[in-house]
Chain A
Amino acid sequence: MSTTVLLDRAATADPMLPYMATVRAIRPEAYGISTFSLEYDDASVPLGFAPGQFNMICLPGFGEVAISICSDPNSPKIMEHTIRYAGSVTRAIGRLRVGDSVGMRGPYGTPWPMQLAEGKDLMIVSGGIGLAPLRPVILEALHRRSSFGRVLVLYGGRTPQDLLYTDEFEKWQNGGIEMYVSVDRADETWKGQVGVIPMAFYRTRLDHRNTLVFSCGPEIMMRFVIYEAMARRIPKEAIYVSMERNMKCAIGFCGHCQLGPVFICKNGPIFRFSQVESFFGREEF
């Protein structure tokens, strides 16, 4: 699916030219984080995205920013984006209301390898806002639950208030997804696990010959996830990570998102760990 979408976009005259999109809904997720549902105004814009891909969203005068699509790939007409108000552009997006407009272009980047996961156990490990690009994987797995073996979600946040999509967890669980949610620091409301997310590995049993790991979160978290997974004999070819770097164009021109031999925008953001192993977590690289 993703390849066709990319080729369609490539055919357009100016790949940096955004299309108009309208904010259809805004759902607050956590402090300073909301999910924006966006729909292209022009019905002729080709639709469709694969789990893990991202859009470039812009507000003229503020600039553009790369945001993962976090909604169900089976309903591509309205795409959801969970945005943390961190910089100039995202803060301005945070001031938008339903009915307001943004510019949008995409989707870009490599997807999570859903086909490879078919018939296998799928372990989704994420921290904080890193769950956003993995939510389409979960929603897709729910649609085709029988195509996969076990589907485990290991998800951690700093505090209970930092967790995303909590109102959906029950539905996911009822759909046959094993959820392990923990927080670094609990409060009186928290009934679940406490501890950093790689520790959740100690509460699961894995079939290392038949498991794929998808991970997205802070690089330090992913480093420990990879360590724990490999310690359980999961081969590095079966571990996939989503990387993040500063990005100005998303199409391989601006040069900002390079990590050694790869461009995060066009060779990623999803990488087989063995692809980026030599450069992963290297200080200041």
Chain B
Amino acid sequence: MVGSATPRVSATVVLSKPALQRVLDNLGNSGFQLIGPTVRDGTLVLAGIGNISELPVGWALEQKPGSSRLLRINSTDYFGCTVGPHSWKRYLFPPQTDLLTAHRNGKGWVFEPSPDDAPPFAFIGVRSCDLHAIAIQDDVFVNGNIRDPHYAHRRERAFIMATNCNTAASTCFCTSMKTGPRVHSGFDLALTELPECFVIEIGSEAGSDVLAGVDWQPASAFDLGRVSQLIQRTERQIQRQLTTSDLPKLLYDTIDHPHWDVIAMRCLSCANCTLVCPTCFCSTVEDHSDLTGSDTKRTRVWDSCFILDFSHLHGGNSRPTIKSRFRQWMTHKLGAWIDQFGRSGCVGCGRCIAWCPMGIDITEELSTLRSLGAR
């Protein structure tokens, strides 16, 4: 059974740590571009990787409001860093998408869709919060009446190797949002890193296939118990909380609350929170033409409700103040999203807290609004 055959879907197997390289090789040989966490210029990013040594071995990410620092630690864990500033939306809903070209043809135009030549991606080390974030963006781009072909093209071909969290940051609050730390579904492989091995749950046929030729053993009850213990330990590390029971009503009831003015004193409206958020999906459309105006490229680029132009309407702006823009973001993320898509737009990854230059903390602001009560 070991090595030759591939495990069946929903089986759980054990791999030695070096054997993960073989899995990555199989993915690479199948045409996937591997994307995973790696350290570049002293910071954690998501980027193309090929070798397991490029994973952030021996690093930890210390995160708190307005700060995220890489620290050298004595560890051989490949997946010991929590989420960094990048999220997988960079690859599924990239910062810039070419939509179409328009070429002047006499008096008229020829519109042509722009091809997407991105290879299929294999995401290595997707945490549970980010898996939920991908599902939330699916709601926006492919689960509605109209499908976005650009997102769909990348999403449908993506291979997802998820990972259970063996550590949590001070900014994490997935337990409040019921999005982690344990991975439940939506993966091809789900891996748990124990000190000496990986325990891997097979989530799909594709997940099973990439274990071809890899030395694996069925996981024992003891292994599964250690996995559960590890995740429980991570759960206990999570201190930050966000109460969701009175959402979205609380936010609708506090639209006129003076506390928004207090936040606006601090908020820079720099848009960092929305751009690091793995679920924020807003975009704008730009036309770029050549000097004669006969060839135009239409692109979609990341936008943000913090940008003044976002709510520009002829004759004025519907959200001219920082206060109104912060309120829009938070009310949408934690409140209106539930009405729009049936679930919260927040997965508790804590990126907006860590990457806010002012360290504005969405969990704290919500609890302040709640404690001050509706006005």
A contacting B, Cβ–Cβ less than 8 Å? yes
Residues of A that sit less than 8 Å from B by CB: 6-7, 9-10, 13-20, 22, 41, 60-64, 84, 86-87, 99-101, 103, 244-246, 248-249, 251-256, 258, 260-263, 266, 278, 282-285
Q: Is B32 an interface residue (CB 8 A)?
A: no
- Give the CA-CA distance A262 to B305 in the complex, in Å: 15
- In contact, B336 and A260 (Cβ under 8 angstroms): yes
- In contact, B303 and A256 (Cβ under 8 angstroms): yes
- Give the CA-CA distance A18 to B321 in the complex, in Å: 34
With A248-B303, A254-B283, A266-B144 already in contact, 8 other A-B pairs whose C-beta atoms are closer than 8 Å: A13-B149, A16-B300, A17-B99, A60-B109, A63-B287, A86-B315, A261-B339, A262-B339
Q: Is B145 an interface residue (CB 8 A)?
A: yes
The 8 closest A-B pairs by CB, nearest first: A261-B339, A255-B282, A60-B102, A284-B324, A61-B289, A60-B296, A86-B314, A101-B108
User: Could you tell me the distance in whole angstroms from the C-beta of A30 to the nearest C-beta in chain B?
Assistant: 15
Contact of A61 among B113, B283, B296, B324 (CB under 8 A): B296
User: Could you tell me the distance in whole angstroms from the C-beta of A42 to the nearest C-beta in chain B?
Assistant: 11
User: Could you tell me the distance in whole angstroms from the C-beta of A8 to the nearest C-beta in chain B?
Assistant: 11
- In contact, A103 and B111 (Cβ under 8 angstroms): yes
- Give the CA-CA distance A254 to B201 in the complex, in Å: 36
Q: Is B255 an interface residue (CB 8 A)?
A: yes
- In contact, B281 and A253 (Cβ under 8 angstroms): yes
- In contact, A64 and B285 (Cβ under 8 angstroms): yes
Q: With A63-B285, A261-B339, A282-B255 known to touch, is A252 a contact of B146 (CB < 8 Å)? A: yes
Contact with A along B283-327 (1 / 0, CB 8 A): 111110100010010101001010000111111001111011001
User: Could you tell me the distance in whole angstroms from the C-beta of A15 to the nearest C-beta in chain B?
Assistant: 5
- Give the CA-CA distance A99 to B108 in the complex, in Å: 9
User: Could you tell me the distance in whole angstroms from the C-beta of B301 to the nearest C-beta in chain A?
Assistant: 10
- Give the CA-CA distance A64 to B111 in the complex, in Å: 14
Residues of B that sit less than 8 Å from A by CB: 99-100, 102, 104, 107-109, 111, 113, 140-141, 144-149, 248, 252, 255-256, 281-287, 289, 293, 296, 298, 300, 303, 305, 310-315, 318-321, 323-324, 327-328, 331-332, 336, 339-340
- Give the CA-CA distance A87 to B305 in the complex, in Å: 20
- In contact, A255 and B305 (Cβ under 8 angstroms): yes
- Give the CA-CA distance A266 to B49 in the complex, in Å: 40
- Nearest neighbor of A7 in chain B, beta-carbon distance: B145
Q: With A10-B145, A13-B113, A254-B282 known to touch, is A20 a contact of B336 (CB < 8 Å)? A: no
Q: With A244-B313, A254-B303, A284-B323 known to touch, is A101 a contact of B109 (CB < 8 Å)? A: yes
- Nearest neighbor of A86 in chain B, beta-carbon distance: B314
- Nearest neighbor of A285 in chain B, beta-carbon distance: B255
| Most B-side CB within 10 Å, residue of A255, A258, A262, A266 | A255
User: Could you tell me the distance in whole angstroms from the C-beta of B186 to the nearest C-beta in chain A?
Assistant: 21
Q: B residues within 8 A CB of A64?
A: 285
- Nearest neighbor of B101 in chain A, beta-carbon distance: A60
8 inter-chain pairs at a CB distance below 8 angstroms, sorted by A residue, are A14-B113, A17-B111, A61-B289, A64-B285, A248-B285, A260-B331, A262-B340, A284-B321
- In contact, A255 and B281 (Cβ under 8 angstroms): yes
- Nearest neighbor of A258 in chain B, beta-carbon distance: B332
Q: B residues within 8 A CB of A244?
A: 313
- Give the CA-CA distance A7 to B146 in the complex, in Å: 8
| Most B-side CB within 10 Å, residue of A62, A249, A260 | A260
Q: A residues within 8 A CB of B100?
A: 14, 16-17
- Give the CA-CA distance A20 to B104 in the complex, in Å: 11
Q: With A61-B293, A103-B111 known to touch, is A246 a contact of B281 (CB < 8 Å)? A: no
- In contact, B107 and A100 (Cβ under 8 angstroms): yes
User: Could you tell me the distance in whole angstroms from the C-beta of A257 to the nearest C-beta in chain B?
Assistant: 9
- In contact, A61 and B287 (Cβ under 8 angstroms): yes
- Give the CA-CA distance A282 to B260 in the complex, in Å: 14
Q: With A60-B102, A63-B285, A244-B313 known to touch, is A18 a contact of B111 (CB < 8 Å)? A: yes
Q: B residues within 8 A CB of A249?
A: 283, 285
Q: B residues within 8 A CB of A22?
A: 108
- Give the CA-CA distance A262 to B252 in the complex, in Å: 13
- In contact, B310 and A256 (Cβ under 8 angstroms): yes
Q: A residues within 8 A CB of B148?
A: 15, 253
Contact of B146 among A61, A99, A245, A251 (CB under 8 A): A251
- In contact, B289 and A84 (Cβ under 8 angstroms): no
User: Could you tell me the distance in whole angstroms from the C-beta of A270 to the nearest C-beta in chain B?
Assistant: 17
Q: A residues within 8 A CB of B256?
A: 282
